[in-house]
Amino acid sequence: MMANQSSASADLNGGGNWLLVTGGAKGIGRTVSERLAQSGYSLFLVGRDEKALFEASEEMKKDSHARIETMALDLSASGSASDLFGFLTRKGLPLPAGIVCNAGDYGTLGPLSEVNIADWKRSFDLNFFSTAELIQKYIHLAEQVPANERPRPRYKIILMSGSGLGGSQVWPGISAYACAKSALYRLMEVVHEEIFEKGFDINCVAPGAVKTGITDQAERAGQKALGKLYDATLKVKSQGGDSPELAAATILQLLSPRCDGLSGRLISAKWDKKFLEDPTKVSADKDLLRLRRIDNELFKKN
């Protein structure tokens, strides 16, 4: 485990502008981090690749003059959440006002009948269990902050969805990843019921078919392992897929005070922008923007 500290001061307004972003140096997470930095947030970026973290943070600081800290850490390792928040404490950094959980990958690929089941189970370590551990630790620490010392009225937890969660298409060959993301969504709904009244908002964001590192992973797996998902992957590779800017814009909206109280929802970055224009309407409708979608937006035929 290694830590990189930027030259930014640690005396930063009691944490009101601090956000923790996992997987924030690559792919969708990199775009999200860039937009957050440009919008005035101070960032704590976590990922496994120390070089990528350093390069991303240096570029963001030049482009936005943002205050950024980084830590190279394998979140799938047991106890990683304690290591992460322990690092924050040792550096004298405030508890972030929100966390964006973006770290993840496809894990083992191929039909369930052919995968190594031990590798299949390990996919959950990063895609589900590490996020659950991080959320638990964050809630524990946030609940210890007296109400009059909170940096913002509500803490924000945003989870990155995937595998077409909420859509009509089910893809073969990614059962470990798809099941982990489905479990993460249900975890979000349950945790929402547990912490909403305590001043937390927690939501899932579905970024769409974005060209990222897991796209390359799917391409390497090949047609035999993934069937029709392989063809869809090649289409994303050749045509560019959905823009990661959609996810970044959605996350920025959810982090804003205007969306305080909007929680427990699955939000499509591609389809749901119009719903976020009136967050109070969404909050008042218990069936809107759920996995059991009733708005038909994700079921449109192109």
Could you tell me the mean pLDDT of each successive run of 10 residues in the chain, 302 residues long?
37 64 93 94 94 94 88 91 93 92 89 94 90 96 90 94 77 91 94 97 93 85 88 87 93 95 94 91 89 59 46
- Alpha carbon distance 273, 268 (integer Å): 8
Categorise residue 208: left if φ over 0, alpha if ψ from -120 to 50, beta otherwise. Answer: left
* pLDDT of amino acid 12: 33
The 10s digit of each residue's pLDDT in 78-107 is: 899 999 999 999 988 889 999 999 988 888
Residue type at 175 in one-letter notation: S
Query: Which pLDDT score, from 0 to 100, does residue 290 have?
Result: 85
- Domains, the chain: 2-210+243-299 (3.40.50.720)
Non-local (6+) Cβ contacts of 78 within 8 A are: none
pLDDT tens per residue across span 110-124: 999 999 999 999 888
Residue 299: the pLDDT is 54
- C-alpha distances in angstroms, 123 versus 77, 131, 211, 233, 261? 12, 12, 20, 20, 32
Q: Which of 297, 294, 298, 291 is nearest to 189 (CA)?
A: 291
Average pLDDT, the chain: 87
* Predicted pLDDT at 298: 55
